Structure 1
Amino acid sequence: MKAVRIHEYGGPEVLRYQEVAAPLAAPGEVLVRVRAASVNPVDWKIRSGGARAIVDYPMPFIPGGDLAGVVEAVGDGVDGFARGDAVFALLGLVGACAELVAVDAAKVARKPAGLSFEEAASLPLAALTAWQGLLGDGRDCAGKHVLVHNAAGGVGSLAVQIAKAKGATVLATASAANADFVRALGADEVVDFRTSPVAGRAADVDVLLDLVGNEQALALWALVKPGGVVIRIAGGADAAALAEQGGLTIVKTRVKPDGIQLAEIGALVESGKIRPVVAAVYPLAEIAAAHEASKGGHTRGKVVLQVGPQT
């Protein structure tokens, strides 16, 4: 089968599209013939070696965490999936950019009806990051004021929709060029804090979802009311998983694969409450260009890789 592998850390030139041995489905796994995968910022951070303090995989490895495809075979002990089922999954942080992937069945969910494989592949990491950030540890968004910082990107665009679906009033940050796009996702108010200072705004935010992690984002903490929650997705790599600061609960979270949660997200997609946003599609062989497009940081939604035929 064809796959992309990384043999050494470096720039996009280290992404090698090559022939590799096909995997088999072990007990508890399903073998998926991949139709699409997606690119996340963590992919090029891992590829460059910039994330080695957090993850350092033995070489060579196959990049990519998201996939959508069709079940090719089912390992012993797997219930609920059969050959021919259309599925999507978050593997973790690596392993998806290949024509065939063996994946733990607990990480897999049925592809939402009506979505293309490319659209479905854009969802798992980004949607689960938003879901676990907003709703982890039993948090409830209903009736809350939620601020999504960096709402036009892959995670942010889904966080806005998930928060609205769960009954929140959503304040979002985005550039002026992306303001209408973010409003169309459901945001009640969109602010460009590069031009609109925090000072003078009411501190009425219950939950801040920080997807940037820079000094500007720290200034937004002033908008969170006492007793509120700051969810740190980006930045603060060494931060404690749970802390308190200035009367706020600070939560540092990292996404985990979860087929049950992914199925819940899929149900919201099918009900029309969440729609994926695909910024661009590249063939798997052009993954280097896809990484560069993602790294540019100006895409609305996700960059996706087409691995196999979509029909």
Structure 2
Amino acid sequence: MKAYVHNAVGGPDCLRLDEVASPICGPSDVVVENRAIGLNPVDWKFIEWGHEAWSWPHVPGVDGAGVIIEVGAEVRHLSVGMPVAYHNDLLRPGSFAERTAIPARAAIPLPVGLPFEVAAAIPCPGLTAAQALAKLPSRPGARILLTGASGAVGGALLQLAGSRGWIIHAVASASQHARVKALGAAVCHDYRDSDWRRELTVNGDSRPFWAVIDLVSGAHAASLASLIAANGHLVCIQDRQETAPLPAFTSTISLHEVGLNALHGFGTDRLWSELVAKGQSIADSCAQGAFDPQLIEVVTFEDLPAALQRLKDGPNPGNRVVML
């Protein structure tokens, strides 16, 4: 089959299109004939970093969508011909290929007729957003601060949080404020404005937020901890808090880390079943026009490395997808 591979770490330009052996279907796997590939920041980051578990040449890519063409001997809930989307374990050969073997428990069955380019944009952004929201109890009327709100995960978070009754303050560039508000933000702040943090005092309250969901970095998240009300929550989607950002026995906030790929190694079948159910719900909402997949670019397989470079360079107000 055709696949993009690399023999060493580097940028997207180190990828080359090559002929490689088709994947072997393990007993708890399915093989998907890919119709679309979702591009995510974790793709170019691990192409740069590499991993000790990889063998070379390595096929990268975590997200894809297509049709099941082979089912492992132990798999009972999936069958050949089913359309699915998936988030694959980044330690395995990935989605930048015509076919990919994935853990069957990670396959998200798709509604009939959902375009594969839409389906491929769901797994990493949608399931990461679902993970982040699962950290927070329901509290209608609570104020939430969301940084990096205009990206793919931020947009998914805004849409999934819509039914929770939160008042969401979104941090994004001014050019994206109208779109971010359309996705569910109540208030927008421009991070390019040097005084944007001064706007975060609400009605004189210096700790106005029940939760902060940060998509920038661990250090950035820590810098916002003082804005969180007592017994509130700090959710990190990029990095995590290695040390407590506030003194002990002060506002006693709870710290949360989010890592979708970690669940391939540590998640139970039940947890994956819950995640897949959330992915199915998002896919159904996309099919009904109730969830915006935020597609900003759909390109051909031949343009994959260049699209991945554009993802790395940014900005990325949504998802970039490759069609096969």
Q: Name the TM-score, length of structure 1 as normaliser.
A: 0.88
Deviations 1:136-169 (A, max 9, x none): 4xx3244133221111111111011111134433
> What is aligned with 2:210?
206
**Deviation of 1:213 (Å):** 1.2
> What is aligned with 2:186?
188
Question: Any stretches of 5+ residues in structure 2 without a counterpart?
Answer: 265-271
CA distance in 1, matches of 2:302, 2:53: 24
CA distance in 2, matches of 1:108, 1:25: 14
CA distance in 2, matches of 1:76, 1:240: 45
Match for residue 266 of structure 1 among 280, 284, 298:
280
CA distance in 1, matches of 2:245, 2:57: 35
Distance verdict in 2 for CA 1:119–1:259, change over 3 Å = farther
CA distance in 1, matches of 2:177, 2:291: 18
Match for residue 287 of structure 1 among 284, 304, 307:
304
Distance verdict in 2 for CA 1:261–1:240, change over 3 Å = farther
Distance verdict in 2 for CA 1:106–1:214, change over 3 Å = closer
Q: Secondary structure at the match of 1:177?
A: helix
Match for residue 153 of structure 2 among 115, 133, 155:
155
CA distance in 1, matches of 2:295, 2:176: 15
CA distance in 1, matches of 2:157, 2:184: 10
**Deviation of 1:34 (Å):** 0.5
Distance verdict in 2 for CA 1:74–1:290, change over 3 Å = same
**Deviation of 1:214 (Å):** 6.3
**Deviation of 1:284 (Å):** 2.2
Distance verdict in 2 for CA 1:2–1:159, change over 3 Å = same
Amino acid at match of 2:161: A
> What is aligned with 1:59?
56
Structure having the higher helix fraction is 2
Match for residue 75 of structure 2 among 58, 73, 78:
78
Distance verdict in 2 for CA 1:114–1:140, change over 3 Å = farther
Distance verdict in 2 for CA 1:79–1:187, change over 3 Å = same
Amino acid at match of 2:126: A
* Contact 1:198/1:223, CA 8 A, preserved across alignment: no
CA distance in 2, matches of 1:241, 1:20: 47
160-169 or 181-190, larger mean C-alpha shift: 160-169
172-181 or 218-227, larger mean C-alpha shift: 218-227
CA distance in 2, matches of 1:283, 1:39: 12
Q: RMSD across aligned C-alpha pairs, in angstroms?
A: 2.5
259-268 or 150-159, larger mean C-alpha shift: 259-268
> What is aligned with 2:269?
none
* Contact 1:5/1:63, CA 8 A, preserved across alignment: yes
CA distance in 1, matches of 2:276, 2:246: 28
What count of residue pairs does the alignment treat as equivalent?
301
Amino acid at match of 1:80: H
Question: Any stretches of 5+ residues in structure 1 without a counterpart?
Answer: none
Q: Secondary structure at the match of 1:198?
A: helix
CA distance in 1, matches of 2:5, 2:242: 31
Deviations 1:223-254 (A, max 9, x none): 21111111111134x72799986521121221
What is the correspondence of 1:135-174 to structure 2 with a 5 Å cutoff? Answer: 135-136=134-135, 139-143=136-140, 144-174=142-172
> What is aligned with 2:115?
116
CA distance in 1, matches of 2:233, 2:13: 41
* Contact 1:146/1:207, CA 8 A, preserved across alignment: yes
Distance verdict in 2 for CA 1:241–1:92, change over 3 Å = farther
Deviations 1:78-110 (A, max 9, x none): 122111111011012251111111111101111
* Contact 2:119/2:283, CA 8 A, preserved across alignment: no
> What is aligned with 2:38?
38
Distance verdict in 2 for CA 1:282–1:259, change over 3 Å = farther
55-64 or 17-26, larger mean C-alpha shift: 55-64
CA distance in 2, matches of 1:180, 1:165: 20
Deviations 1:153-194 (A, max 9, x none): 111110111111344332211111000010111112211143
Match for residue 231 of structure 1 among 230, 235, 238:
235
Q: Name the TM-score, length of structure 2 as normaliser.
A: 0.85
147-156 or 251-260, larger mean C-alpha shift: 251-260
Distance verdict in 2 for CA 1:297–1:57, change over 3 Å = same
**Deviation of 1:134 (Å):** 1.9
> What is aligned with 1:89?
86
CA distance in 2, matches of 1:105, 1:20: 22
> What is aligned with 1:8?
8
Say whether 1:249 aligns with 2:254: yes
Percent identity, aligned pairs only, is 31
